[in-house]
Amino acid sequence: MSKTKIAVLVSGGGTNLQALIDAARDGIIAHGELALVISNNAGAFALTRAANAGIKTAVISKKELGSAEAFEEKLLETLAANGIEMIVLAGFMVILSKRFTDAYPNRILNVHPSLIPSFCGEGFYGLHVHEAALAYGVKVTGATVHFVNEIPDGGRIIMQKAVEIEEGDTPEVLQRRVMEQAEWKILPLSVELVAKEIKEEKKN
Ligand code: GAR
């Protein structure tokens, strides 16, 4: 039977996308196919990573389309046209509406660079998350992969991994450690888990 067709949505550097590409190559993601990468930002390096791996890419710009509604409409259209069954938000810096998330219940995954419910929700993205963790003075942080619903970072948790904060950490140093020790590990494992579940559902 064919693999679960996955779209990865990105906005920036795409190191999590790279972890998915490597995991697919290494057979860690065995039940899913990285079929499409979509960016809201034409300058995202993630697009180069996708092209280098031979994955089809698309750019959908909110600015050009003029509204969040038109942006989501175009996203849905592109996903449907490519037969996408599962969506991974990998550093995608756009909050999706209920209308969008309801179209793919338990089919959208997101990776967030903290242990949810700490340092999450609107305004907590990228480096800001690590700045907040250091400012609070927590000793342990980490990453979470969760399903996406209409509440920012509010969907059911799939996997989490803890990461120690070290003396003298800067947000940048901590961000890198959380990626290396947590995000790049639990994102591919979660993608395989859900891709496999979707494939098994199709069989029944
Ligand atoms: C990652 O740390 C990801 O967890 C975070 O942005 C970074 C993207 O890096 N996402 C969020 O903060 C979403 N709320 P990448 O483009 O190198 O994968």
Residue pLDDT, tens place only, 104-129: 999 999 999 999 999 999 999 999 99
Q: Whose CA is nearest to atom 11 of ligand 1?
A: 125
Residue nearest to atom 9 of ligand 1 (CA): 91
How many CB atoms lie under 10 A from the CB of residue 118?
16
pLDDT one digit per residue (tens) for the chain, 204 residues: 699 999 999 999 999 999 999 999 999 999 999 999 999 999 999 999 999 999 999 999 999 999 999 999 999 999 999 999 999 999 999 999 999 999 999 999 999 999 999 999 999 999 999 999 999 999 999 999 999 999 999 999 999 999 999 999 999 999 999 999 999 999 999 999 999 999 999 887
112 tagged catalytic: yes
- Angle between the N-to-C axes of helices 184-203 and 15-25, in degrees from 0 to 180, rounded to the nearest 10: 60
Q: What is the pLDDT of residue 97?
A: 97
Domains and CATH numbers, the chain: 4-203 (3.40.50.170)
Please list, residue by residue across 82-115, b when 16 or more beta carbons sit within 10 angstroms of its beta carbon and e when fewer do. eebbbbbbbbbebbbeeebbebbeebbbbbbbbb
Beta bridge partners of 58: 38
Q: Is the dihedral of CA 106, 112, 117, 120 positive or negative?
A: negative
Going from the Cα of 28 to the center of ligand 1, the distance in angstroms, rounded, reads 21
Whole-model pTM above 0.85? yes
Structural element, H or E, at residue 57: strand 56-59
Ligand 1 contact via 183 beta carbon (within 6 Å): yes
The residue whose C-alpha atom lies closest to atom 8 belonging to ligand 1 is: 91
CA 192 to chain centre: 13
From 31, 112, 130, 146, active-site residue: 112
Q: Is the CB of 90 under 6 A from ligand 1?
A: yes
Neighbouring-strand partners of residue 89:
9, 110
The residue whose C-alpha atom lies closest to atom 10 belonging to ligand 1 is: 91
The alpha carbon of 203 and the centre of ligand 1 are apart by a number of angstroms equal to 33
Atom of ligand 1 nearest to the CA of 15: 17
